[in-house]
Amino acid sequence: MSQVPNDKTISLKLSEVLSDIGVTEKMVLKRRRIFMLMETVDTTTHRLLGKNVITYNFGSQSEGSTTLELDSDIDSLFSLHNLNVIQDWKDWQFGKENVLMVQDESTSPGYCLLQLLRPDVPLVVTATESGRSSGIDGKGRLLMKNSHFDPLLLGNQYRNGPAHAFKEVPGFDAEDNVLAWYSKSWPAEAEPWLERPCVGGWPTEEMKRYCETTGCFLVPVSSKSGQNETFEWRISTSLAERCLMFSLNITQIRCYILMKMILKTFIKPKCDGVLSSFMCKTVLFYCIEDTLSDVWEEQNLLGCLKHCLLALQNCITRENCPHFITPENNLMAGKLPPATKHRLQEILQNIEQSDVRTLLEIPIDDLGARLKAKMQGRQCYPLQDYIHSCISSKLLKHMAIQIAIRHKFHLKELVHRGGQMEHSRSFVYTLARRYIGKALNSLEKSAYKLLIPFLCSSLASAIASHDIQADRTVSQEAQGWFSVGLNSDVSSGRLKFASALYCTGDFERAEHVLRNTEDLYELKTVEAVCTCRDLETLSLRLEFFNRSDTGNEELVKHITAFCVRFIPCEINCVPHELQYEMFRATQEDMLHGHDFWMDWSVVDSLPYIYFLQYKTYGHLQRPAGQQLALEGLVDCVKSNHNLGHLETALNLLGQCLELENLYYAALDCYVRSLNVCARNNAAKIHICRLLSALVNRQVV
């Protein structure tokens, strides 16, 4: 580009590029809906299990302020409500666990101490010695330590600031899970913000009044420069900040995304850990507050970006980036040693001087190359529809994974409670009563619609298992629940029904359900969903990819196939070949780790369709259908497209081959199964069983 076009032309082309890579109003709203629905599914599960916890997904993913290659982490906050956290003694409650937020000369701005109070009278707790989660400070106060939640760290987590973090593994994004206390009181030090004047009429008075009702969270981390490293808790106004983010127009969101791209491309490689995207967001908020609203339009995008970068530069010069709601809290405190400050100033000055050339060097989402092509009138990168399908397919997979995880923990709780039918009934009835009897918002209704069918299938299977043990039938009650659970997804609900029918000997009806399930399971479209292990997801099927952009979460029912889960109380609905999976773990296996679901029978939907067809057609004496089913099972195992339980599919295939008198081929399946999963594998049982039969010439 020998001649640099004017800012308006560049701004419009830059807006087109950002639109092409998925930063549009439609996609921003879609991201927000999916991530807020995920948190609603999570919260619904907590409540169903009797836990006073609300889940929030904060950060770029839920704001819609990210792109495919910015690939922001998923930041979840679990808001705990079993403490009464107060700022004023008048809010103390009799019989409750009360803690008082304390701010004095020893606490950093934006931080507080949590002093323990008595539940019987409004007085502080006095103590003479420290405990695991509390301690006595220099003033003799009994305070809660910010390490209070550390014992809850899981084996695959590590402490990252206030978060219990999961490392990114194939198939799953990195996650930061923060446990925090909730206080319904708006922070006292944030009161002045409610009255602060603004040039551009943003935030509006209505927004501020709403923010005041959102309270705050107490996050377990101290200030970098604080005097109370053990006892300080950060005061978070994340719900208010979400409200601010959700009010931004598309140009403001695009400006924020460009700031993050510049941060990731030019600043983090040389000054990692100094500036954060939250600082960029804070600077953006101040710029919007101090600017007339009509400035934030597409044709001014470049000018708005320059304005924000200049404001960031000023913060670095002053070594002060004041929190937007509590300005006394300096986000840069203790983070800018002289050498780092000088380096940052140099980088930002170079960006300012190079003007648009900086944007042309951004590789993220091919932004620079796309902008250059746009300026030259060329189109040589994937079109907007393709990128939108990429985003939509990823969001849909996120949603499906969240449902699968929550269902898994419902089943875990059922097993923990003894796996009795009455507990399953209680779960389903509780959800149904809430769905029918309460004024639910659209997200809550959608969450209930997604969760109820899975629970109904599990309840139906538990009832049917009891029926089969009693008189080898499936009662009308069980069939009624099965019918409610049929449309949980493409296949898992139907397969549980077919499995129950098979186990009663009702092979004609089982065959009908299986044929219907196979017809719905479009091989070019349907994606398998399994959350039992951290497995890498291979490339998505083309039609799944294409159809993901045609709707929202309801597509889970039409283009995803969950694995089929049977807990021990459902054992009579499980063919004996699959029952082995409930007894897969040896004592040695248990010493090396044993996930709770390994005492269940769990199988991917597609191989289970073919396995049940093979067995059903055998009983119906339809050899042609039986051989087609066997071929389908063999092909399924060979292709191994995103199967979460390949070892189980191989074990089922091996047992089918034994029925075909192909004993050495069956043995090969079991060995391959062990190669896939060396521990907690029923293949060990099958190998011993088959070798014993071969040695004793029970088979030839």
How far apart, in Å, do the first and last CA atoms of the chain sit? 78
**Which pLDDT does position 232 carry in this prediction?**
95
Phi, psi of 144 (to 5 degrees): -80, 130
Percent of the chain with pLDDT over 90: 76
**Which pLDDT does position 171 carry in this prediction?**
45
133 and 4, same structural domain?
Answer: no
540 and 633, same structural domain?
Answer: yes
pLDDT band at 172 (very low <50, low <70, confident <90, very high): very low
Residue 76 lies in a domain: no
Q: Is the peptide bond before 453 cis (omega within 30 degrees of 0)?
A: no
402 and 327, same structural domain?
Answer: no
pLDDT average, residue stretch 411-428? 79
CATH of the domain at 10: 1.10.1410.40
**Which pLDDT does position 153 carry in this prediction?**
62
Is the pLDDT at 157 greater than 90, yes or no?
Answer: no
Q: Report how far Cα 38 is from the mean position of its chain's Cα atoms.
A: 7
Is the pLDDT at 335 greater than 60, yes or no?
Answer: yes
287 and 230, same structural domain?
Answer: no
Of the three residues 381, 401, 421, the one that is the final residue of a domain is 381
191 and 107, same structural domain?
Answer: yes
Q: Is 564 exposed, middle or buried (0-12, 13-18, 19+ CB in 10 A)?
A: buried
Residue 58 lies in a domain: no
Residue 323 lies in a domain: yes
552, HSE (Cβ side, Cα atoms, 13 Å): 18
Q: How far apart, in whole angstroms, are the C-alpha atoms of residue 155 and residue 593?
A: 11
Summarize pLDDT for 657-676 with one digit per residue, the tens.
999 999 999 999 999 999 99
pLDDT average, residue stretch 561-588? 94
Mean pLDDT of the chain: 91
Is the pLDDT at 175 greater than 70, yes or no?
Answer: no
697: left (phi over 0), alpha (psi -120 to 50) or beta: left
Domain residues for the domain of 341 are 1-29+248-381
Residue 640 lies in a domain: yes
Is the pLDDT at 419 greater than 60, yes or no?
Answer: yes
437 and 399, same structural domain?
Answer: yes
Residue 44 lies in a domain: no
Residue 71 lies in a domain: no
Residues 6 or more apart in contact with residue 479 via CB below 8 angstroms: 460, 497
pLDDT band at 594 (very low <50, low <70, confident <90, very high): confident
Q: Is 121 exposed, middle or buried (0-12, 13-18, 19+ CB in 10 A)?
A: exposed
pTM: 0.90
Enter the tokens of residue 250.
């598309």
Residue 75 lies in a domain: no
Handedness of CA 489, 492, 496, 499 (dihedral sign): positive
618 and 477, same structural domain?
Answer: yes
Which residues is 78 bridged to in the sheet? 55, 179
Summarize pLDDT for 420-438 with one digit per residue, the tens.
677 778 878 888 777 776 6
pLDDT band at 155 (very low <50, low <70, confident <90, very high): low
Per-residue CA distances from 675 to 17, 116, 141, 589, 668 (Å)? 47, 54, 58, 15, 11
653 and 546, same structural domain?
Answer: yes
Q: How far apart, in whole angstroms, are the C-alpha atoms of residue 330 and residue 457?
A: 53
Residue 40 lies in a domain: no
The total domain count for the chain is 3
Is the pLDDT at 169 greater than 50, yes or no?
Answer: no
590, HSE (Cβ side, Cα atoms, 13 Å): 7
Which of 124-133, 154-163, 382-391 shows the highest mean pLDDT?
382-391
Contact 460, 492 (CB under 8 A): no
627 and 640, same structural domain?
Answer: yes
339 and 242, same structural domain?
Answer: no
Is the pLDDT at 238 greater than 70, yes or no?
Answer: yes
Summarize pLDDT for 595-610 with one digit per residue, the tens.
889 999 999 999 999 9
144 and 229, same structural domain?
Answer: yes
Give the residue, 152 or 101, on which the prediction is more confident: 101
Percent of the chain with pLDDT over 70: 94
374 and 349, same structural domain?
Answer: yes
**Which pLDDT does position 170 carry in this prediction?**
45
Q: Is 306 exposed, middle or buried (0-12, 13-18, 19+ CB in 10 A)?
A: middle
**Which pLDDT does position 586 carry in this prediction?**
84
